[in-house]
Chain A
Amino acid sequence: MSTPKHSACAADIQSQDHNLDVPSPAALPDDIVDAAITWSIKLDYNEANADIKRRFEHWLQANPMHAIAWERIHSLRHSFSGTSASSALVISTMEHADQLRHQSLLKRRKTIQLLSLANLAIGTGWLVRAQLPWQRLTADTSTGIGEQRTLQLADGTELILNTDTAIRTDLSGENRIILLLRGEIMVKTGADMQHAEKRPFLVYTSFGKMQALGTRFTVRLASQGALISVQEHAVALYPAQSQASYVVKVNESRWLRENGTEPANLHGMDAGSWAHGVISGNNIRLADLLAELARYRMGHISCAPEIADLRVSGLFHIKDTDKTLQFLADTQPIRLSFRTRLWVSVGPAHTNSDALL
């Protein structure tokens, strides 16, 4: 059915931004369109008698716009023709699609909830350390100080939680998602065998997210960023407030910050050695090593400036930090003083350490 000439002319003065097959002519008055619809229902969608047809002819002649409205509405009678299939199959398919969409809507909402919770948990920064019990409550899995835990996830991924760590996982959606709320994890991504297509594996932090590109890597949260170290393959970083993504390659470490990424210095320590129960490295500043050891023990380790720049190399066990501290005292010119069981001061061996306290 052809479009009337005068409406095609009207199309020329319309905005040209619409790239539609049908010209968009000036709008007809609503009441005329409604009248045309009423006639269409009587004539096209019911058995009309002669009297109705006669009254319709009368209406059609009464106003040129009636004819335009009629032509358009009547043309809709044959929309979607071209298939011989019954409406039953189409209706069932549409109803099933409604269901699927409803489910994925719920899933998206759940993800958004999950993510805003994560932002709330770490968005407030370092102070959150004071609120550990609450975080543990909302997290799926957590470890205490000095504790490590290995998880096998349903998709085959192995997740190792380092000391003082809290995570949430959601493997039910189109992406496999880990939220790192606190601490440090090592990820060895699994094959995701139950799914025909391997789903993307994402780790979210308040500083941004990262996608594993078939891989083994560690993520450690600090107050100003997340430190990513890759042991196998690569990981793509996506800062929360920036488009500057970055792919971290094997044996590389990088900070993921809210506004970008930058190279990270591990101060001589190997990333991920904690998963084997040790801090390992070469030429590590003693102050850095002690700060690292402090993560694995309750209480506090203070380091005197005179010995801060001593350099150490090797393996330092983290399972029993008292023993490791004693080992350092035996091999380095340092002396340990326990103010309380939880507070250890490390100072030079030669001076009177009591004077330091």
Chain B
Amino acid sequence: MTSAMEIYQLLPKTNCKECGESTCMAFGVALLSGSRKFTECPPLMKEEKYIDSKQKLEEILKPLEGAHETGLIIHDELCSGCGNCVVACPVDVANDPHSSGRGFGPSNDKVIFRVVDGKVKAANIKECRRFGKDKILCRACIDPCPTEAIEFV
């Protein structure tokens, strides 16, 4: 799991402000949230001494490419389609109490999780309790996942 500090260590750490952010740390946090791209750091792209850092940064940021706006990543290769997240997610239960909440497959399109071809897929991500100004650090889909296929970054 990549942290903002790990990303910061690979940035120039000069706080040059060329990217528009006030510090390199702020730019690192923006990279982690997916709102900025590392190619937007001019010194990192121009100067030869940062070549190694640039490569490492590219590697550690690659898994974050598929992340949703809430930072949700589903690792397809680990998912067994058990549907624990479908039933455990409080949003799914609230939006589809008689099907998802009771263990059946979802009966409408308002749910976040749905198993398709043996793998879980996420939709309606703005409904997630980790999204919006009243967000909370909900772990209802992470804890029941036996294969650690769900991650938030």
**A and B: bona fide binding partners:** no
